[in-house]
Amino acid sequence: MHIALLVHDRFTALDIVGPYEVLSHLPDARVDFVAEQPGPVRTDTGFLAVTADKALHEVPNPDIVVVPGGPGTFDQLKNQALLDWLRAVDATSTWTTSVCSGSLLLGAAGLLRGRRATSHWLALDLLKEFGAEPTGERVVTDGKYVTAAGVSSGIDMGLTLVGRIAGDEHAQAVQLLIEYDPQPPYDAGSPDKAPAHLVEEFRTHSRFTLV
Amino acid sequence: MHIALLVHDRFTALDIVGPYEVLSHLPDARVDFVAEQPGPVRTDTGFLAVTADKALHEVPNPDIVVVPGGPGTFDQLKNQALLDWLRAVDATSTWTTSVCSGSLLLGAAGLLRGRRATSHWLALDLLKEFGAEPTGERVVTDGKYVTAAGVSSGIDMGLTLVGRIAGDEHAQAVQLLIEYDPQPPYDAGSPDKAPAHLVEEFRTHSRFTLV
């Protein structure tokens, strides 16, 4: 099982490290971090760089592709080299997936037309621009397209995929190994649950708009 | 608020990226990934490298220090340069923290004697070797020492810390931003909840022993 994890300038680290931590425990997993240029790629905060070991052209036919989001997503929406790669790998992938605003990249590549999909809650409505049907679910599977909501949701997506690919028991073993028994000290992880004024503040100041 | 995130050979990526993603949203956060040698540091799978921007000696007095675990932890338990650094930064830190088997490193540095602490469930009992009192809780705070259970628990620890440092509302805003509304497709994230035979298999084959 060959897994390609995309990174791009100013991606959000947990978007990709969540799925990585889960999917790398698939049987016979082979994982490549890929970017337009190999080498260190900085996250949105500037505080962290992860290494892309491969350039896009070196990973032409992964079984699974995972596309992260983050503030840098918006600069990539017109990156034809990246969109061409997404279309090319999608032609042979078993699963084409995204976390957070990464679904906008799948959308910009034309891969989500007529499909149900999700994204970070602040970016959800933008999916319509690409002909997708946004839903507020945390993990959305439509055919081979699996999209996840904001940032931390990639862990849930990863476990969902491992269950589909390797069976429930293998997924449960991975969940136990990464001790994923979440106990957040607050219950504010979605716009339906968080204090309304926080949701409003984010909506007012969000730069999640298509330029 | 200056945050030092340690990385060492064969650490587990999510151990450190979980707290990073949360703590980097503290007001005036300044974050340094540190290692004995600056440069790319490979995780336990070999598939991912993150960049340590700073050497240990370049980060002498962070406010918060976070120590990850992973299979590589055990090689570090007698690394005197690393243990010396942990003792030195602990002398002036506001919070000294760990995720997963990272608590064994705090223990080996002599920082957990007589303290309640946690670790990955497979490593929990080993804390006793360092005079700590293991507990099965997900996030344990004893004075300024905050230890978290396995891998994914660092997200919960990060939110707990942000709440203590910047207040409940700020922590809720971070939770909303990273859309941390966990919905794992299985309920197998702790040894109390997972199928007993999976727990037993891990216990039998675990290499989490002190050599």
Do residues A21 and B11 touch, judged by C-beta distance below 8 A?
Answer: no
Alpha helices in chain A (DSSP H): 13-23, 73-76, 80-90, 102-108, 153-166, 168-177, 196-205
**Residue A205 banded pLDDT, cuts 50, 70, 90:** confident
Distance CA B33, CA B152 (A): 19
Q: What are phi and psi of B58, to 5 degrees?
A: -80, -10
Task: pLDDT tens for chain B, 211 residues: list them.
Answer: 999 999 999 999 999 999 999 999 999 999 999 999 999 999 999 999 999 999 999 999 999 999 999 999 999 999 999 999 999 999 999 999 999 999 999 999 999 999 999 999 999 999 999 999 999 899 999 999 999 999 999 999 999 999 999 999 999 999 999 999 999 999 999 999 999 999 999 999 876 665 4
Taking residues A162-182, report their average pLDDT.
98
Q: Looking at residue B48, which CATH number applies to its domain?
A: 3.40.50.880
Window 143-172 of A: residues touching B by CB (8 A cutoff) are 149-153, 155-156, 159-160, 163, 168-169, 171-172
Residues of chain A contacting residue B191, judged by C-beta atoms under 8 Å apart: 176
What is the CA A7 to chain-centroid distance, rounded? 10
Amino acid at A158: G
pLDDT of residue A210: 57
Do residues A99 and A16 touch, judged by C-beta distance below 8 A?
Answer: yes
Residues of chain A contacting residue B169, judged by C-beta atoms under 8 Å apart: 195, 198
pLDDT of residue B206: 76
Alpha helices in chain B (DSSP H): 13-23, 73-76, 80-90, 102-108, 153-166, 168-177, 196-205
Mark yes or no for CB contact A182/B189 under 8 Å: yes
Amino acid at A52: A
For an interface test with A, the pick among B176, B190, B208 (most A C-beta atoms closer than 10 Å) comes out as B176
In a domain, B193, yes or no: no
In a domain, A196, yes or no: no
Distance CA B19, CA B22 (A): 5
Q: pLDDT digits over A39-92, tens only? A: 999 999 999 999 999 999 999 999 999 999 999 999 999 999 999 999 999 999
Token readout for A29 is 């997993």
Q: pLDDT digits over B136-160, tens only? A: 899 999 999 999 999 999 999 999 9
Residues of chain A contacting residue B17, judged by C-beta atoms under 8 Å apart: 13-14, 17, 48
pLDDT of residue B3: 98
In a domain, B168, yes or no: yes
In a domain, A189, yes or no: no
In a domain, A62, yes or no: yes
Q: What are phi and psi of A29, to 5 degrees?
A: -70, 135
In a domain, B84, yes or no: yes
Quickly count: other Cβ atoms within 10 Å of residue B132's Cβ: 27
**Residue A211 banded pLDDT, cuts 50, 70, 90:** very low
Name the residue among B169, B171, B184 with its Cβ closest to that of A182: B184
The answer to whether the pTM exceeds 0.80 is yes
Torsion of CA B26, B30, B35, B39, to 10 degrees: 120
Q: Does A28 touch chain B (CB under 8 A)?
A: no
**CA nearest B162 in A: which residue?**
A185
Structural domain count of chain B: 1
In a domain, A202, yes or no: no
Token readout for A138 is 């945390």
Query: Is residue B173 among the annotated active site residues?
Result: no
Token readout for A186 is 């607050």
- H helix or E strand, kind and range, residue A55: strand A54-55
Mark yes or no for CB contact B189/A176 under 8 Å: yes
Mark yes or no for CB contact A151/B21 under 8 Å: yes
Nearest-CA distance B131 → chain A (Å): 24
Mark yes or no for CB contact B182/A156 under 8 Å: yes
In a domain, A7, yes or no: yes
**CA nearest B183 in A: which residue?**
A156
Please give the residue range of the domain that contains residue B118: 2-183
Residues of chain B contacting residue A155, judged by C-beta atoms under 8 Å apart: 152, 182, 184
Q: Does A66 touch chain B (CB under 8 A)?
A: no
ipTM score over 0.85, yes or no: yes
